[in-house]
Amino acid sequence: MPRLWTEYLTFMSAQHKITKTRRLFDRCLRALPITQHHRIWPLYLKFVRQYNIPETTVRICRRYLQVINMTCSSFFPFSRLLRCQLEPYDVEDYIDYLKSVGKFDEAATRLATVVNDDHFASKRGKTPHQFWTELCELLSTNAAHITSLKAEPIIRSGTSAHFLPPERLNYHVVTGLVRFTDMVGHLWVALAEHFTRLKLFEKARDIYEEALSSVMTVRDFTLVQSSLIGPMGNSVYLLVGF
């Protein structure tokens, strides 16, 4: 039975009839037992990614990730086997897609969830440090588009050896991160640029001043100073002054 479905779905996918083919995929998933869905989902995801239909693609990807989360349950039979079979398209691919279509808010939320998950294993070999850095960069460069997370407590958690208390952290913000001494300068710059992009120039100026007075190495001081005399820093300097 799955072979007949896959052949038919492959044929229909080549006909470029989006709505009809999408409904056929849904019908197939309803007809087959969940233990055979791993043969259908890769075709479904490949099909929707061929077209510029971001809303539909996002909804289908959410469904797929819900299936993966369900198979993680210890109460679900064959959960480990199904998860291994269903993971060729995982949350990392979904985050990349969200960023490519401009859905930065959901991308940041998904990234924060990944950072919070102690058991998450990256297919690409990324470390929690890399995911957290990616999250900070996303928050800094897309400040106006991200409303579900608060950027300042997240970025500040990497500039200080003391973590913010949980009540000051927004939902999905990771706690317990160690201080990244090799990134303090970058994080201060990211935080200042975040407020600059929000046109909160006085706040950005305060961040630059705090950074210059608190960094401990010449490298970090030089990095912050270089940012201050760059395009972002010049905007703050011209509009607010130091």
| Segment 11-68, tens digit of pLDDT | 999 998 999 999 999 999 999 988 888 889 989 999 998 999 999 999 999 888 887 7
Structure tokens at 158: 């990497």
HSE-up of 16 (CA within 13 Å, CB side)? Answer: 2
Structure tokens at 236: 């703050």
Instruction: Give me the amino acid identity at 74.
Output: S
- List of residues 6+ apart from 4 with CB closer than 8 A: none
Could you give the CA distance from residue 120 to residue 140 in angstroms, rounded to a whole number? 24
CB atoms within 10 A of CB 142: 18
Asked whether the predicted pLDDT for residue 168 surpasses 60, the reply is no
CB atoms within 10 A of CB 232: 18
- Which of 11-20, 71-80, 169-178, 195-204 has the weakest average pLDDT? 169-178
236-242 average pLDDT score = 51
Structure tokens at 105: 């808010």
Could you give the CA distance from residue 30 to residue 23 in angstroms, rounded to a whole number? 11
DSSP assigned state of 143: G
- List of residues 6+ apart from 222 with CB closer than 8 A: 185
Q: What is the pTM of this model?
A: 0.73
Specify whether the CB–CB gap between 225 and 212 falls below 8 A: yes
Helix 184-197 and helix 201-214: axis angle, to 10°? 170
Could you give the CA distance from residue 54 to residue 99 in angstroms, rounded to a whole number? 11
Specify whether the CB–CB gap between 99 and 111 falls below 8 A: no
Asked whether the predicted pLDDT for residue 136 surpasses 90, the reply is no
Instruction: Give me the amino acid identity at 198.
Output: L
* The pLDDT value given to residue 132: 83
Instruction: Give me the amino acid identity at 17.
Output: K
- Which of 81-85, 159-163, 171-175, 212-216 has the weakest average pLDDT? 171-175
Sorting pLDDT into bands at 50, 70 and 90, what band is 96?
Answer: very high
Distances (CA, A) of 228 to 49, 153, 198, 231: 41, 22, 17, 8
Asked whether the predicted pLDDT for residue 121 surpasses 60, the reply is yes
- pLDDT per position as a tens digit, 182-206: 678 888 888 888 888 888 888 888 8
DSSP assigned state of 34: G
